[in-house]
Amino acid sequence: MTTVVCWKSVDGGRRETLHLCADSRFGDGAGKNWDCGRKLFFSRVFPDVFGFVGEALPPQTALGQLVENIDSSSLGTRLPDPCQRMAKYKSYLDATIGTFPKTRSVQILFATRDDRASSPSLHLWSIMFSSATGPGESQKISTGGSKTEFIGAFGSGEPNFMKIYSDIRSKPQGTASRAVYWAFVDHLAAGADRYTGGSPQIVRLGSAGAAFPVGISHNGKRYLFGFELDATQLEETKIEEWHDELYQFVNPVSGKLRSNAQRIARPK
């Protein structure tokens, strides 16, 4: 199934950013796992981000196709209203994921931005497909107010993640953006959900521009969307932001704290 979490951060200039974080495990439910699976997708042209939990094959295929069509402007005129845009994307997913002979349910998360106002707003939807064929059911998910806050956890790992996050939230720095990531890292390490594993993967959607991925330094290795990268080959990477387990900004080659980065001490 998997675990995906979402939170919002707000900086001093009141600029908002949505963060989607997922694990990288694909499994057959019988103990055979593959920890290199991509679960987050994003447009490199427009502010659209997708993630999924549940059966892996249909959403991984359909979301890759959908993002390619979005980036190539092959879906017709881009609608400025995010609700109408979501409805168009849902029709595409109904025709793909909805017709796939699934054995388990699939939940799609869609994050986007409304640029029509002077202060752009961020939006999030869930589209749930049952194990049977047929169209999905959509639901708008609140992205909260004007402060940093946790939005939600999804998938089979949600109960264990929430237990860990609740404990971290009660401690100093527990309401900070990085605390959600601390809980996610602890959730992976605990191994309580057999469908959740591998390295984290993160995509961010801010108040301007397209979404972008975050590189991960995890257990001394570097990853991007679950794929392990040779640190000696990362000198020319175009991924600008890399985080370690403390959510510190690190150098992708060495994995060490950047010279100008804030040092973070995690409370015990």
230 assigned to some structural domain = yes
Q: Would you say residue 245 has pLDDT above 90? A: yes
pLDDT at 268: 77
Residue-wise pLDDT tens digits, 93-142: 999 999 999 999 999 999 999 999 888 999 999 999 999 999 999 999 99
Q: What is the mean pLDDT of residues 218-230?
A: 95
260 assigned to some structural domain = no
Q: Do 182 and 33 form a contact (C-beta atoms < 8 A)? A: no
263 assigned to some structural domain = no
Q: Would you say residue 225 has pLDDT above 80? A: yes
Tell me the Cα Rg of the chain: 18
251 assigned to some structural domain = no
155 assigned to some structural domain = yes
SS (H, E, C) the chain: CCCEEEEEEECCCCCEEEEEEECCCEECCCCCEECCCCCEEECCCCCEEEEEEECCHHHHHHHHHHHHHHHCCCCCCCCCCHHHHHHHHHHHHHHHHHHCCCCCCEEEEEEEEECCCCCCEEEEEEEEECCCCCCCEEEEECCCCCCCEEEEEECCCHHHHHHHHHHHHCCCCCCCHHHHHHHHHHHHHHCCCCCCCCCCEEEEECCCCCCEEEEEEECCEEEECCEEECHHHCCCCCCCCEECCCCCEECCCCCCECCCCCCCCCCC
pLDDT at 232: 77
Residue-wise pLDDT tens digits, 56-67: 999 999 999 999
Where does the pLDDT of residue 208 fall: very low under 50, low under 70, confident under 90, or very high at 90 and above? very high
Q: What is the mean pLDDT of residues 205-229?
A: 96
147 assigned to some structural domain = yes
Total domain count for the chain?
1
pLDDT at 72: 97
Q: What number of residues does the chain have?
A: 268
CATH code of residue 105? 3.60.20.10
248 assigned to some structural domain = no
Residues 6+ apart with CB under 8 A from 62: 92, 93, 96, 97, 100
67 assigned to some structural domain = yes
- Backbone torsions φ then ψ of 136, nearest 5 degrees: -85, 165
Range of the domain at 174: 4-243
Residue-wise pLDDT tens digits, 232-242: 789 899 999 99
